[in-house]
Structures are given as structure tokens and as C-alpha cells.
Amino acid sequence: MSLTDLTLAEARAKLRARQIGAAELTGAFLSAIERLNPRLNAFITVTPEQALAQAREADKALAAGDARPLTGIPLAIKDLFCTAGVRTTAGSKILAPFVPPYESTVTANLLRDGAVFLGKANLDEFAMGSSNMTSAFGGVENPWKRQQDPDAVLVPGGSSGGSAAAVAARLALGATATDTGGSIRQPAAFCGIAGIKPTYGRCSRWGTVAFASSLDQAGPVARTVEDCAILLGSMAGFDPKDSTSADREVPDFAAACARGVKGMRIGVPREYRLDGLSDEIEALWRQGLDWLRDAGAEVVDVSLPHTKHALPTYYIVAPAEASSNLARYDGVRFGLREDGEDLIDLYERTRAAGFGDEVKRRIMIGTYVLSAGYYDAYYLRAQKIRALILKDFTDAFGQVDAIVTPSTPTAAFGQGEKMDDPVAMYLNDVFTVPANLAGIPGLSVPAGLSADGLPLGLQVLGRPFDEESVFAVGAALERAAGFVAKPELVA
């Protein structure tokens, strides 16, 4: 077995047993990146010298018997997390020259625990997208191929497309990601890996480039549910520098993976049975529920009546917050600058040149729904519907311990598809967006293959701050599914 094929948990055990060295492991991933990244474009920036230096430090720590939770574990970092001294672009031309003088709390936590950073992973511009096609640094190729059409280049999903593709192709043991409307779970599903968006407030937002602050939440993607649990254990934790960070103990997420689901009540929301949901997704969903029944869980119907309003609600709330957050890109203090005749002209030219089409659309929608005369009709109304969506979940979690749904309405699609119709692209997130509006945790676990041989995911939703139940259900689905298929393009 090659080193890049190990899971994070396996690699950690071998490092601690001194069966492999950290520099050797990091070297294997760096050569895999060198070989495959020119094609996949999963990394915007690769940092080989830094990675090898960190790996050598890890070897010293391991030799001294000082193993921390992630000592010597090579990771990809979504290029939305500020990394001190390493360029952080957010996938945007406007931040192309930006080198942060500080480290985000999430990445600082990973470094504290001994992780090795291989580089910065590609993403949709400012995390706005479901295909990675809005990145100013080019699209990412999904390492999976349709059996019938192996030449077609498919998207890895988005916005954490580079993170998911890197992990699926074995270019990293795991990766950081962020999820504002599905940006961890949808790419994880499209790339046949696991990914969790924890409860809002679980991971600090400090030092992560902001998109929609009441929805943004960091989380990990990795090949297994347990690997995600290990990574989340390091990423999470209270941070006084984030005003919405939750002051709570971080539980042993990895231990929860082994809990099993005996006696748990699993909800199936009838409103998620969309018109036109494909037969194979429907069948996989039914299969997943059968697996949980076989493992001792009870499956019950629940109702989330306002679910159907979640997506349009999101497309008011998220752009409104984005238009405010992205006002900081003015060409004066950092980032790209285009000269103008006066200050206003400088702002307008800088932002016209620096932002891509999707980002401009969302800023303009957000500006409009917040503008005088329209605020009540759009933004305030959306906030009220958001309250109704949360109440649906609160009611449902009075009856069940977790909810299981498909992660996405389809498998990965081709690069260039859905590009001329923003609303068609938005529909990718129909199953994932409600969890962001409600702030609850959601995990995607690879559960099967489509008729075309592409991975499909199931989503597990849980109560706020009950990621442990989500991990227990996710790990049970993973054990039953026995998903061992590998992508076409793999290190």
C-alpha cells in the first residue's frame, strides 16, 4: 500500500509507531501534488519548503515521544483561511497579491496540534459557487470520471472544490473547508469523500475571509468519517476573537464514531422528496435508511414544512451579508488597485476589475435587497422565514436524534454545465442550505455510486452542538456502505 493511500487515522498510528517518518510521508504527498496538480488544479499555491520544514519538526517531536493529535499529518488548506506569510487569495483576483501577516484561528489550532500544511486549495471566488468554476485561478478537475464518458471533465463541486479534489485524489490526508450553503458537503459528495459542517460557532471565524458571517462555518473534509472527527477535534474550540464563537468544551468526536446507532431515532423529512429527484438518489436514500434500521435505529417520518423556502431565503440573506462584508475591498488598504480619476472612480474600477461575474451578481443582489424601500420586502421577510426554518428543525429534533437526506440532487456535472443560468446552479444546494440557515451540524458521507460510476453522498443532520450523534450515524452509514471505490485520477 502506498503512503498516500493511508487514511489519516492509519497514517497517525504508523507515525506514532515510528513505522513511517513524517518527512517521508510529506514527501510522498508533495510528489503526488507535483504529478497530478498541473492537471487537477486543486492547489492555487503549493508550499513544499514550509511543508518539509514542518515535517522535520514533526519527526523530532515524534522521536522525543511528544506526539500531538496531528503531528506530521499533511493537510491542504482552503485558500480562504489566512496563513501568516503565505499568500491567501480567496480565489479572487482582488486578493491575488494579499499575504496575511497573521494566522487564522482554525489553522493556528491545526499548527498547534502538529499538522503539516502542503499548500492552499482552490475554491470558488470568495466561496461563492457550487462548481469551483468561479475561481479566478481556474476550475478544478474532479478526479472521478463517468464510466460511459471518461473524457468529460467534471466539476468537483464547490466552493471547497480544491480541498475535496485534493483529498479524493490522495494529494492530502485531509483538508480544511468552509460551508456557507453547502460548500463542504456538496464537494465531499461529488468527490466520494466525507465532510462535516459543524454547528455554527463551533469553529472560530477569525482570520477566515468572510462571505456571509451568520452562515459561514469552517469544517474538515477527509476520506473517512473518523478522519473528519479527528480534524474537527483540532479545528474547533472557543475563540474570544470571534464574537459568535461558542464557549463550549470540544467533545471527543472520534470516540462518537464508534458509538453505533442502536436505539437512535432517525428522521426522514418528507419535504426532501423533491419532484424530479432521480431514482438512483431516491434508492440510495432508502438503502441508507435500511442500513440504519439493520444497525438498530428506528426510522420515523418528520416534517420540515418550510424547507422549500430555504434556498430563495438563502439567496437574500447570503448576498445581503456578502455585499456588506465585501465592501472592504476598496483598492486602498490591501489587494488589487486600479487607478481612477478620483476616489470613487478608483473604488469602482478596482472592484470592476477585481471581482468576477458571480461575486458581482451577489454583491448587487445584496445591495438591492438592503437598499432603502426594499429592506422590509426582501431582507426582513427572509429573516422571518429563517426563523420558521429553524423552528421546523427544533420541532423535528424534539422527536428524532438525527435526520438523514441525500447530500445533493445529482452526481457531479460537467465543467461548463449550468454556467449560463445562476438559478440552476443554485439548486445544487437545495438539500444543504437549510442546515446553514438553522446553524445545525451536517455531514456528508459517501454511500454509493451512480449508474455512471460517480460517487453519491448521504447527509446526516443533527441538533445544535450534537456533532457526536451526527458522527455516530455517519460512521454507521459508512460501515454499512463499505465504500471502497477510487477515482480515476489518483496518486
Residues assigned a catalytic role: 78, 159, 183
What would the grid cell of residue 82 be?
489566512
Of 115, 169, 230, 316, the one binding another protein by CB under 8 A: 316
Q: Residue 116 CB, nearest distance to another protein (Å)?
A: 25
Q: Which helix (H) or strand (E) holds 121?
A: strand 116-121
67, 328 Cβ separation under 8 angstroms: no
Q: Residue 422 CB, nearest distance to another protein (Å)?
A: 6
Residue 209 DSSP one-character state: P
**Dist. CA 352–CA 174, nearest whole Å:** 35
Site stretch for another protein (CB under 8 A), options 266-274, 396-404, 434-442, 452-460: 434-442
Site stretch for another protein (CB under 8 A), options 97-105, 396-404, 442-450, 479-487: 97-105
The two most distant CA atoms of the chain are separated, in Å, by 70
CA 49 to chain CA centroid, Å, is: 26
* Residues from 197 through 236 that contact another protein (CB under 8 A): 200-201, 213-215
Kindly state whether residue 307 participates in binding another protein, applying the rule CB under 8 A. no
Of 5, 14, 334, 410, the one binding another protein by CB under 8 A: 334
**Dist. CA 491–CA 487, nearest whole Å:** 10
- Which residue, 237, 253, 234, 233, is CA-closest to 245? 237
Of 24, 249, 421, 488, the one binding another protein by CB under 8 A: 421
Of 363, 412, 454, 460, the one binding another protein by CB under 8 A: 363
Kindly state whether residue 21 participates in binding another protein, applying the rule CB under 8 A. no
Kindly state whether residue 403 participates in binding another protein, applying the rule CB under 8 A. no
Fill in the amino acid letter for 33. Answer: I
Q: How far is CA 114 from CA 22, 110, 203, 231, in A?
A: 11, 7, 18, 12
Kindly state whether residue 323 participates in binding another protein, applying the rule CB under 8 A. yes
Q: How far is CA 77 from CA 16, 226, 317, 378, in A?
A: 23, 19, 27, 35
Q: Is 241 exposed, middle or buried (0-12, 13-18, 19+ CB in 10 A)?
A: exposed
Q: Residue 397 CB, nearest distance to another protein (Å)?
A: 13
Site stretch for another protein (CB under 8 A), options 126-134, 167-175, 366-374, 468-476: 366-374
Kindly state whether residue 99 participates in binding another protein, applying the rule CB under 8 A. yes
What would the grid cell of residue 177 be?
473547508
* Residues from 448 through 467 that contact another protein (CB under 8 A): 464
Kindly state whether residue 249 participates in binding another protein, applying the rule CB under 8 A. no
Residue 31 or 243: the one with the smaller Cβ distance to another protein is 243
